[in-house]
Amino acid sequence: MSQKIISPSTSVNSTAHPGSTGYDYTIGPQQTLPELPVSSSTTGGGIGGGASTAVSTTLPLPSVYNESLNPNARNQHVSLSAYAFLFQELVSQARNASKSVSEIELRLHRSGYHIGIRLLELLNFRSSVSAGFGSSSSSKAFFSKTAMNPSGNALALNGSLSSTQDEPSLAQGISHMKRRDLKPVEILQFIHSTVWSYLFGRVSDDLVKSSERENEFMLIDSAPMLTQFISSTNVQCDFFVCGIIEGILDSASFPCNVTVHSVPEPNFEQKVVFVVKFEPQVLEREALRA
Amino acid sequence: MSASMSGNTASSSSSKKSLKAFSDDIWKNKTAKINAELFTLTYGSIVSQLCTDYERDFAKVNKQLYSMGYNIGVRLIEDFLARTALPRCDSLAKTSEVISKCAFKIFLNVTPQIGNWSSNKDSFSIFLDENPLSEFVELPMDAARELWYSNILCGVLKGALEMVQMDCDVYFASDVLKGDQTTELRVKLNKILKDEIPAGED
Amino acid sequence: MALYSFWIFDRHCNCIFDREWTLKTNPSSGTTNSKLNEDTAKLLYGMVFSLRSISQKLGSKGSFNEIRTIATGKYRAHILCTASGLWFILLSDLGQEDLSQVLRYLYSEIYVKTVVYNWLSPVDFADSPNERRGQGFRKIRNRQFLLAVEKFLGPMVN
């Protein structure tokens, strides 16, 4: 089976590049799919419980490629308390597996990092979708099946995967994929606004450049959401958020080191500052570009 | 000395409204919310870290997820009761309804179906059509065989039910992540526990 | 209008928090988690326990008949019993007809947020089976909880 291509640009004819896996500058960024697990409907059934083997129409193992990236395709929220409980267990797990405070923080950092590296592409992709898509009323009409171009790649792909057909796709709303941010300040602004809004429902409280060191920037959060219920511990649980930031910056080719410091203020006892320290090579690159 | 007594206000008011409307109202108006994808990703990060820590011994991972869930459950029940003010359920049927329409709703914003009652009505299944823990999840082949990805939920239910004196077995019977047609969580009531009484009173 | 004391009992029949105010004029007076209150706590527990079993027998089967207030000649006890077996009790003068909202607030906004959400604080205050059934001695000591209780109840003391 030849590989199907989801192309962010609907104008690209995927059949013109059969089997292409590498980056093609004439097309731009594109996602390639591995061989689809057609045979896995049998393997999947075999693994499953007795119930599924008994039924003739066993499902293949679900594939993430069936899922829509449209944020409106599913529940957008869970309760903060459910998250708080889960986060506590994340911290406890890190604590039980560690011998020192710095080791706990390192593990939290690592957990966040794995989330961060997944977010860059996703959030860039979503912010590339033309304005008006976010508003639910207009998007509903747009995402409805009838509005989709039947020859569009997204639908063809969905069909080939026999996925649920009514899952909305964002692919067609993209006119241009947002260019990746090249300057440290741009990518930090992306974190300050887009990423923070995505994670915590509001932009961060401030983004400041260090006056002392050229390669240091500070993101300020007066009321960190994830750690608000965790009190008086010597472990700084916001290292998890450091990890997210560092993951995003790393995958955007801004190698850096992110740390967090708490700076309690009378009205904001839990106020924290995330310090982003870029590696020297980032500044060198900046100098060359200028 | 005089003593005044009456039925629980919350239970009488909630029986007038449907449990669904009651829960929808709590979700809409009395619940702080957070991005569901962050929840999904954070859980994924926990599971994958456990798989590494336990060197892909998935039986151990299942067990650890269950025990993490239990720790959550014994706390989460207080949050649940504080927000709903519900009294103890007088039947398992009522319990199943409260779990699906109320608890799942106000914590995860989903309402799973209840079904598959045993003939003696001591066990039932929760069918998770939507599962915020496992969005975007695809299990590697080795994990698909043994890992119950969302096993933390079993622990949560076990812990929470135990705190309202219901001793239950909770386990996954199937999971779409493994290629099954449904994601089915089984709850079996073993016994109703007695409230403790002070030493010397019995 | 006056508050005299505030008590929390857990599912193991233990008093896990007590706060008694001695001077109406000074909300910071009195004792917190005091050894001296052990006997009072046991008597209070016993009284509520007995009345609770009676009220449950009086109610028809299947309906809940939870005790909410008890009045004597001098004071009134306001009681909130949760399905998880926690009891929150406030003692006030007779002027306070209904403090059920205050109790609910203590439970959902203070206990849940500073004890339940706070993983550094235990939620089960009996560390071993020997500490169950009223034999326990551990108390809620976390600072956030204590501060929140004072801030909320302090203005109601006199």
Domains of chain C in sequence order: 3-156 (3.30.450.70)
Q: What is the pLDDT of residues C25-57, one digit of tens each?
A: 777 777 777 777 778 888 888 888 888 888 888
Sheet holding B123-127, edge to edge: B113-115, B123-127, B184-192, B166-174
- Residue among A134, A261, A131, A241 nearest A191 (CA): A241
Q: Write the pLDDT tens digit of every residue in A5-25.
A: 554 544 444 444 444 444 555
How high is the pLDDT of residue B98? 92
Q: What is the mean pLDDT of chain A?
A: 71
CA pair distance B10, C112, nearest whole angstrom: 18
Identify the domain containing residue B134 by its residue range. Answer: 34-192
What does the pLDDT look like over A90-106, one tens digit per residue? 988 888 888 888 888 89
Q: Would you state the structure tokens that stand for residue B176, as one six-digit string?
A: 């779409």
**Between A107 and A35, where is the model more confident?**
A107
Segment A134-161 mean pLDDT? 40
If one compares C54 and A277, the residue with the highest pLDDT of the two is A277
Between CA C109 and CA C118, with CA C114 as vertex, the angle to 5 degrees is 135
Instruction: Grade residue B148 by pLDDT with cuts at 50, 70 and 90.
Output: very high
Q: How confident is the model at residue A130 (pLDDT cuts 50, 70, 90)?
A: low
In this structure, of A19-33, A115-129, C62-76, the range with the lowest mean pLDDT score is A19-33
Chain C nearest-CA distance from A216, in A, is: 33
Distance of CA B52 to the CA centre of its chain: 26
**Distance in Å from the first CA to the final CA of chain A:** 47
Residue of B nearest to C106 (CA): B82
A236-247: per-residue pLDDT in tens? 888 999 999 999
Give A139's contacts (C-beta < 8 A, 6+ positions apart).
A70, A72, A132, A133, A168
Average pLDDT value for residue range A153-165 = 41
B35 C-beta neighbours (distance < 10 Å), count: 19
Strand pairing report for B2-6 and C3-9: unpaired
For the cut 80, the answer to whether the pLDDT of residue A54 exceeds it is: no
Pairing of strands A216-221, B123-127: unpaired
Closest by Cβ to C132, choosing from B4, B81, B196: B196
- For residue A122, the chain B residue with the least C-alpha distance is B37
Percent of residues, chain A, with pLDDT higher than 70: 58
Q: Percent of chain A, pLDDT > 90?
A: 18
Tell whether the model's pLDDT for residue A138 goes beyond 50. Answer: no
pLDDT exceeds cutoff 50 at A1: no
C-alpha span between A90 and A97 (Å, rounded): 11
Domain count, chain B: 1
- Domain harbouring B72, CATH code: 3.30.1380.20
Contacting residues for A130 by C-beta, under 8 A, at least 6 apart? A173, A174, A175
Question: For chain B, which residues lie within 8 Å of any Cβ of chain C, measuring from their own Cβ?
Answer: 1-9, 11, 74-75, 77-79, 81-83, 85-88, 90, 163-165, 195-199, 201
pLDDT at residue A25 in the model: 55
What are the b/e assignments for A254-266, b being 16+ CB within 10 Å?
bebebbbeeeeee
Query: Would you say C100 and B8 are in contact if contact means Cβ atoms under 8 Å apart?
Result: no
The dihedral through the CA atoms of A118, A124, A129, A134 has a sign that is positive
CA distance B192 to chain C (A): 13
- Residue B153 CA to residue B66 CA, distance in Å, equals 7
Please name the residues in contact with B32: beta carbons below 8 A apart, sequence gap of 6 or more.
A79, A80, A81
CATH 3.30.1380.20 is right for the domain spanning A80-125+178-289: yes
pLDDT tens digits for B32-61? Answer: 889 888 999 999 999 998 998 888 898 999
Q: Are C74 and C96 in contact (CB under 8 A)?
A: no
The radius of gyration computed from the CA coordinates of chain B, to the nearest angstrom, equals 18
pLDDT in tens, C69-79: 888 888 898 99
Percent of chain B with pLDDT over 70: 91
Structure tokens at C122: 């235990």
Q: Which helix (H) or strand (E) holds C70?
A: strand C66-71
Does the residue B77 lie in any domain? yes
According to DSSP, the residues that pair with C80 across neighbouring strands are C88
Q: How many CA atoms lie within 13 A of A229 on its CB side?
A: 25
Q: Answer for the pair B190, B105: CB distance below 8 angstroms, yes or no.
A: no
Average pLDDT on A56-85 reads 73
Residue A149: predicted pLDDT:
41
Integer CA distances (angstroms), B100 to B79, B175, B184, in order: 16, 18, 13
Residue A134 has pLDDT above 70, yes or no: no
Q: Which amino acid is at A188?
A: L
Each residue of B179-192: pLDDT tens digit? 888 899 999 999 98
How confident is residue B201, by pLDDT bands cut at 50, 70 and 90?
Answer: low
Q: What is the pLDDT of residues B166-183, one digit of tens each?
A: 999 999 999 888 888 889
Mean residue pLDDT across chain B: 86
ipTM above 0.85, yes or no: yes
Evaluate whether residue B169 is within a structural domain: yes
Q: What's the rounded mean pLDDT across residues A130-147?
A: 42
Domain spans of chain A, in order of start: 5-71+136-173, 80-125+178-289
Kindly indicate the confidence band of residue A174, based on its pLDDT and cuts at 50, 70 and 90.
Answer: low
**Sign of the dihedral through C-alpha A14, B137, B146, A50:** negative
Count CA within 13 A, CB hemisphere, residue B121.
6
Q: Which residues of C touch A (CB under 8 A)?
A: 113-114, 117-120, 142-144
pLDDT at B185: 92
State the residue for tokens 């409106």. A72
Tell me the two tokens of residue B9.
């206000």
**Residue B188 to residue B122: CA distance in whole angstroms:** 6
pLDDT-derived band at A212, boundaries 50, 70, 90:
confident
Question: Which chains border B (3 or more CB–CB pairs < 8 Å)?
Answer: A, C
Query: Is position B135 within any domain?
Result: yes
Instruction: Kindly report which listed range (A58-72, A155-169, B76-90, C32-46) carries the lowest average pLDDT score.
Output: A155-169
Least confident span in A192-196, B9-13, B132-136: B9-13
pLDDT digits (tens, 9 = 90+) for C64-113: 777 888 888 888 989 999 988 899 999 888 887 788 889 999 999 999 98
Residues of C in contact with B81 (CB under 8 A): 82-84
| Spatial separation of the C-alpha atoms in residues C81 and B7, rounded to whole Å | 12
**Is residue B62 domain-resident?**
yes
Contact B174 A49 (CB under 8 A): yes
